[in-house]
């Protein structure tokens, strides 16, 4: 490709909308252009890089035995109602109506569609295992699209779905996909961490996320250098100590706390109640019912863990008015002591760190008052115990006791072992060896293809621009002649090398613009082509060209050795 035949609209200045490095570089290098919030146009170079990521994904999916198909983006809401996700995922669903006023869902994912397909096509254990995948545009109604391709309303995803006749088979399918994902990200030039993850609205038995460490990531990963444990903080646990119990003979005692409506305020004189001896009472509304969530005063709630405990993501913090109506007090004076609650049947969820504790302090459900000498079990009747707290850096690892570290990261892939949730709901049944009908055991596996592309840039850049890995670079080589006059020896040699590299299957762009050398070099650095061949009259007079890897040093190479030198760099980078 010749530079003048394509369009690479590089920018000197960073658009104000860009918040993180990769988003800035996507725009400045002319890879994408914004249509509106959460919607982007892929320019020619951006699309070339995207297609290379897709090809790596496709090759590894095929290598793992998955079968490619393509499913409709437009889906009937009835299948979402059958799975139960029409309500639980309603916040992210785009819904449209046709001319007959019939409602449709624009697919954010395809569990319902693929399971409906399999229900009609697979009816015997002899037809399994099967794994189907597609690379397709998805739609999610993000409340706050941001960071370019990282969180967009429309994006490209590779989603795969496995169907097995047994749990053991499903486990094998899961590990095949896990290993395929590791290969995909390695080939894309990404350093990733595979972490235990929360299954969220997907449901299922367990899952792993593939994370790219990055300070601009939207996820926090807890990990241990001692044993290798790693988990998304939504899932992570630690071996924290429980609150020491105090003598429990004393009965609850109400005492005035005017103006003390926070944990911190209660720690100060004249009350001087340490945060670890306070019970934090949070009020949520789940399925239109008030639920109370209890944690130790110095802990924070992990809402993903609460969602797993409730079995739903359809909950929200209570509003002050409805809290006062239900409990007779405002936030800051709330508690779950049975004697202070109106009526019976309260749903009370408590973090396991509070179990069997005594000598605690909590709100009295009367503004300006608290209760001391509280004993869990005697004074507070817990409906369900669960791990509800957010893990903090420095806490001991649950596996080996070493201090945990917490790092920001970008999620690029997610693998789930789903079990039979969807196959039961959508009747994907098969006859086993004994002739009995059983639900297929499923797994699902997603890679954000557009997000992966941006993650590569977020991880591979420097002060001058993008540093593409050769495997996904839009072009591998940029030839930069300093004299583009057709009759000049410089341009004639550039044309010759361009033809040779192209014939060898090496993606090459010839910068034939009549611009200053510094301008062309800066553009090449900004876009991030892995190898640049500079050809000028001075170097040519010595029988040489200048070869510069994007992140390496410039070296002089004999004209006759230029092509073989490029081939060697490509082979080394690809491990060939």
Q: Inform me whether the pLDDT recorded for 196 exceeds 90.
A: no
Best CATH choice for the domain 15-191+433-458 from the list 3.30.70.100, 1.10.3720.10, 3.90.1010.10, 3.30.930.10: 3.30.930.10
Tell me the CA distances in angstroms from 452 to 185, 412, 457, one per residue in order.
Answer: 8, 6, 9
Task: Please state whether the peptide bond connecting residue 465 to the residue before it is cis, i.e. omega within 30 degrees of 0.
Answer: no
Mean per-residue pLDDT, 556-569: 96
> Could you tell me if 430 and 437 are in contact, meaning their C-beta atoms sit under 8 angstroms apart?
yes
Calpha distance 187→472 (Å, rounded): 9
Q: Inform me whether the pLDDT recorded for 360 exceeds 70.
A: yes
Q: Inform me whether the pLDDT recorded for 215 exceeds 90.
A: no
The SS3 call for residue 363 is: strand
Segments making up each domain of the chain, as ranges = 15-191+433-458, 253-386, 475-574
Calpha distance 153→39 (Å, rounded): 6
Ranking 37-46, 312-321, 521-530 by mean pLDDT, the lowest is 312-321
Mean per-residue pLDDT, 216-226: 89
The SS3 call for residue 296 is: strand
Both tokens assigned to 42: 């892929």
Mean per-residue pLDDT, 447-471: 97
Mean per-residue pLDDT, 462-490: 97
Provide DSSP, 403-447: BPEEEEEEEEEEEEEEETHHHHHTT-EEE-TTS-EEEPEEEEEEE
CB-based contacts of 117, cutoff 8 Å, min separation 6: 71, 132
Calpha distance 105→227 (Å, rounded): 44
In the CATH hierarchy, which top-level class contains the domain 475-574?
Answer: alpha beta
Calpha distance 551→561 (Å, rounded): 21
Ranking 4-13, 55-64, 139-148, 164-173 by mean pLDDT, the lowest is 139-148
Quickly count: other Cβ atoms within 10 Å of residue 56's Cβ: 21
> Could you tell me if 547 and 533 are in contact, meaning their C-beta atoms sit under 8 angstroms apart?
yes
Q: Inform me whether the pLDDT recorded for 202 exceeds 80.
A: no
Rounded to two decimals, the pTM is 0.85
Nearest to residue 533, comparing CAs of 476, 472, 575?
476
167, containing H or E segment: helix 167-187
Which is more confidently placed, 206 or 232? 232
What pairing do the DSSP bridges indicate for beta strands 230-232 and 219-223?
A: antiparallel
CATH code of 253-386, in short, is: 3.90.960.10
For 91-135, the pLDDT digits (tens) are 899 999 999 999 999 999 999 999 999 999 999 999 999 999 999
pLDDT of residue 574: 87
| Residue indicated by tokens 């707290």 | 389
pLDDT of residue 203: 46
């Amino acid at each position: 490709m010749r530079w003048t035949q394509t369009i690479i609209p590089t920018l000197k200045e960073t658009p104000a909308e860009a918040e993180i490095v990769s988003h800035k570089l996507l725009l400045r290098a002319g890879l994408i252009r914004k249509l509106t919030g959460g919607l982007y146009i892929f320019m020619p170079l951006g699309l070339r890089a995207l297609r290379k990521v897709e090809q790596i994904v496709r090759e590894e999916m095929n290598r793992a035995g998955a079968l490619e198909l393509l499913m409709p983006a437009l889906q009937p809401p009835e299948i979402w109602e059958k799975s139960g996700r029409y309500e639980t995922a309603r916040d992210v669903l785009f819904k449209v109506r046709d001319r007959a006023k019939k409602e449709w869902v624009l697919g954010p994912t395809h569990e319902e569609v693929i399971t409906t397909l399999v229900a009609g096509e697979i009816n015997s254990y002899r037809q399994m295992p099967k794994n189907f995948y597609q690379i397709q545009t998805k739609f999610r109604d993000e409340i706050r699209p941001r960071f370019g391709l990282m969180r967009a309303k429309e994006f490209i995803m590779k989603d795969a779905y496995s169907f097995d006749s047994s749990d053991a088979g499903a486990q094998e399918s899961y590990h095949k996909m896990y290993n395929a994902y590791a290969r995909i990200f390695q080939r894309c030039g990404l350093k990733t961490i595979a972490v235990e993850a929360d299954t969220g609205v997907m449901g299922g038995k367990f899952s792993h996320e593939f994370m790219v460490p990055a300070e601009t990531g939207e996820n926090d990963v807890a990990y241990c250098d001692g044993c290798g444990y790693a988990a998304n903080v939504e899932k992570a646990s630690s071996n924290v100590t429980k609150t020491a119990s105090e003598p429990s003979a004393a009965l609850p005692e109400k005492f005035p706390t005017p103006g003390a409506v926070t944990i911190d305020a209660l720690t100060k004189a004249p009350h001087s109640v340490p945060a670890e001896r306070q019970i934090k009472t949070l009020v949520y509304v789940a399925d239109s019912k008030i639920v109370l969530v209890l944690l130790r005063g110095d802990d924070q709630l992990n809402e993903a863990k609460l969602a797993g405990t409730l079995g739903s993501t359809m909950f929200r913090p209570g509003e002050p008015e409805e809290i006062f109506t239900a409990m007779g007090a405002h936030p800051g004076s709330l508690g779950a002591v049975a004697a202070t609650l109106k009526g019976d049947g309260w749903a009370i969820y408590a973090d396991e760190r509070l179990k069997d504790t005594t000598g605690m302090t909590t709100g009295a459900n009367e503004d300006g008052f608290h209760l001391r000498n509280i004993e869990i079990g005697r004074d507070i009747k817990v409906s369900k115990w669960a791990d509800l707290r957010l893990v903090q850096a420095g806490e001991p690892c649950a596996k080996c006791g070493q201090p945990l570290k917490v790092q920001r990261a970008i999620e690029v892939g997610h693998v789930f072992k789903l079990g039979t949730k969807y196959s039961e709901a959508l009747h994907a049944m098969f006859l086993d060896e004994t002739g009995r009908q059983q639900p297929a055991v499923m797994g699902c596996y997603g890679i954000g293809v557009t997000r992966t592309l941006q993650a590569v840039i977020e991880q591979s850049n420097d002060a001058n621009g993008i540093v593409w890995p050769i495997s996904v670079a839009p072009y591998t080589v940029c030839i930069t002649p300093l004299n583009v006059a057709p009759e000049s020896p410089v341009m004639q040699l550039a044309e010759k090398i361009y033809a040779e590299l192209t014939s060898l299957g090496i993606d090459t762009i010839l910068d034939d613009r009549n611009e200053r050398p510094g301008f062309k070099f800066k553009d090449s650095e900004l876009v991030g082509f892995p190898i640049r061949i500079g050809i000028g009259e001075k170097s040519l007079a010595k029988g040489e060209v200048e070869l510069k890897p994007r992140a390496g040093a410039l070296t002089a190479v004999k004209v006759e050795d230029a092509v073989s030198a490029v081939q060697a760099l490509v082979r080394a980078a690809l491990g060939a």
